[in-house]
Amino acid sequence: MPAGTLGVLLVGAKGLENSDFLCDMDPYVILTCSSQEHKSTVASGQGSEPEWNENFLFTISDSVTELTLKIMDSDSGSADDFLGEAT
């Protein structure tokens, strides 16, 4: 199986629904491609319009067909909130 490299530039998100009622959200993204997973930094206090401008590299083969991005809100003292997902 030929292998290659997939480069992903995570720029930002717009229009996220605020899951924190008293303060701004602290969103981050989990990027998954096959069995590889990367996590962005937490965009502390950036609310519903976070920006990351981060690069991620995945090693892929011909059988890889999907890249999944899961957006989460980092919460201290409780489980992180799920905000959305794209494939």
Under the banding of pLDDT at 50, 70 and 90, the label for residue 1 is: low
Q: What ranges make up the beta strands (E) of the chain?
A: 3-12, 27-33, 36-39, 51-61, 68-73, 81-86
pLDDT score at 2: 64
Q: Report the mean per-residue pLDDT for the chain.
A: 91
The yes-or-no verdict on residue 19 having pLDDT over 80 is no
Domain limits for position 42: 3-86
What's the domain count of the chain?
A: 1
In tens, the pLDDT along 43-72 reads 998 989 999 999 999 999 888 889 999 999
The alpha-helical segments, DSSP class H, found in the chain are none
The yes-or-no verdict on residue 86 having pLDDT over 90 is yes
The yes-or-no verdict on residue 21 having pLDDT over 80 is no
Q: List the CATH number of the domain containing 25.
A: 2.60.40.150
